[in-house]
């Protein structure tokens, strides 16, 4: 057993379960309510996904490999997230692993892909298994090949990045509806130049292990308004239109399949909280053979809350569902 694997195994012995951090805030804490709302959202997503796939025959040329999914409270972005998940599951219904590259909101600097030490993540509806064997492989295979230094630079185990983070957690009940009982690998991914290499390394190890995987990027887009201390276009409807255009700058790089340009774009224009996650997902998909991407749905919280909890046109967060194949 490699040194990397031994380290993870020692930590796992004391940290087998990651408890929910944002249940009751971003999504229901009650098990029955959580399952019910997740199923309702997934039904909405399936209907939208079927309509989108029917109108976009080019996306059916090969099985989809990855997607961008938003991670706000379910009331804001849950239906958009399930639209991407359902479309992906329609083309890849049977898989071995779901890799979730998550945005990092924890205020600790890093350039590494941050893994956790847990065997399970608890959700109100049940426990979600983490693929601990593959997590060990990320470091172990590189070490066996004599390249431990490179592996250590790309990945580390640090539960501080997962303890209060919502980017992966809010997706898990929805992911379990798309791929029941399929293990997950959470990778908190920094908005750093290393994000491309992180995604590439994960995909190479997936292929080496002979696994059939999908890759998700959990990210929201422009956080606009006084609440986010970001108002370059002022306040009001025109400003929120500017924010949507700011999202489209980044989404154009997604559809152009240029992951190396994503993080610099986010640095320059502040149009995503998970630029690293997006770059890693796209890079992983490219290693797996992907050459195309399309935006399924683009909206913001001002629009999605209009019917259920109308807001003043002051603050808004952008959301997008996108598919890579």
| Rounded Cα gap, residues 99 and 189, in angstroms | 12
pLDDT digits (tens, 9 = 90+) for 222-277: 999 999 999 999 999 999 999 999 999 999 999 999 999 999 999 999 999 999 99
| Rounded Cα gap, residues 111 and 206, in angstroms | 21
> Is the pLDDT confidence value at 146 over 50?
no
Question: What backbone torsions phi and psi does residue 237 show, to the nearest 5 degrees?
Answer: -55, -45
Which SS3 state, helix, strand or coil, does residue 22 take?
Answer: coil
First to last CA, the chain: 35
Q: How far is CA 167 from the centre of its chain?
A: 7
Spelled out in words, what is the top-level CATH class assigned to the domain 3-324?
A: alpha beta
What would the two tokens of residue 74 be? 């379910």
153: confidence class by pLDDT, cuts 50, 70, 90:
confident
145: confidence class by pLDDT, cuts 50, 70, 90:
very low
User: So where are the chain's domains?
Assistant: 3-324
Structural contact between residues 67 and 88, judged by C-beta atoms closer than 8 angstroms? yes
**Rounded average pLDDT over 176-198:** 98
**Rounded average pLDDT over 211-219:** 98
> Is the pLDDT confidence value at 144 over 50?
no
Higher confidence at residue 187 or residue 63?
Answer: 187
Query: To which residue do tokens 């983070």 refer?
Result: 165
Q: Which pLDDT belongs to residue 138?
A: 87
Q: CB 1: neighbour CB atoms within 10 A?
A: 9
């Amino acid at each position: 057993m490699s040194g990397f694997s031994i380290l993870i195994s020692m930590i796992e012995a004391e940290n087998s379960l990651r408890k929910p951090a944002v249940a009751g805030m971003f999504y229901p804490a009650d098990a029955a309510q959580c399952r019910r709302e997740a199923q309702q959202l997934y039904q909405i997503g399936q209907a939208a996904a079927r309509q989108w796939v029917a109108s976009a025959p080019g996306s059916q040329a090969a099985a989809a490999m990855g997607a961008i999914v938003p991670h706000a409270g379910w009331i804001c972005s849950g239906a958009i997230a399930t639209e991407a998940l359902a479309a992906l599951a329609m083309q890849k219904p049977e898989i071995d692993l779901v890799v979730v590259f998550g945005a990092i909101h924890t205020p600790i600097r890093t350039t590494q892909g941050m893994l956790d030490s847990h065997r399970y993540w608890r959700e109100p509806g049940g426990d979600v298994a983490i693929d601990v064997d593959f997590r060990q492989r990320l470091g172990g295979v590189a070490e066996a090949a004599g390249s431990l230094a490179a592996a250590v630079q790309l990945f580390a185990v640090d539960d501080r990045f997962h303890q209060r983070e919502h980017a992966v957690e809010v997706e898990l009940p929805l992911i379990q509806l798309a791929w029941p009982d399929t293990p997950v690998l959470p990778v908190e991914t920094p908005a750093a130049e290393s994000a491309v290499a992180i995604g590439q390394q994960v995909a190479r190890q997936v292929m080496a292990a002979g696994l059939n995987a999908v890759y998700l990027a959990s990210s929201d887009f422009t956080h606009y308004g006084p609440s986010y201390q970001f108002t370059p276009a002022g306040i009001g409807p025109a400003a929120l239109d500017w924010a949507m255009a700011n999202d489209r700058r980044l989404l154009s790089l997604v559809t152009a399949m240029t992951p190396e340009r994503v993080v610099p774009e986010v640095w320059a224009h502040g149009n995503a909280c998970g630029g690293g996650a997006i770059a890693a997902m796209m890079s992983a998909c490219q290693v797996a053979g992907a050459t195309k991407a399309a935006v399924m749905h683009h909206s913001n919280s001002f629009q999605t809350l209009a019917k259920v909890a109308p807001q003043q046109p002051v603050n808004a967060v952008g959301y997008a569902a996108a598919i890579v194949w």
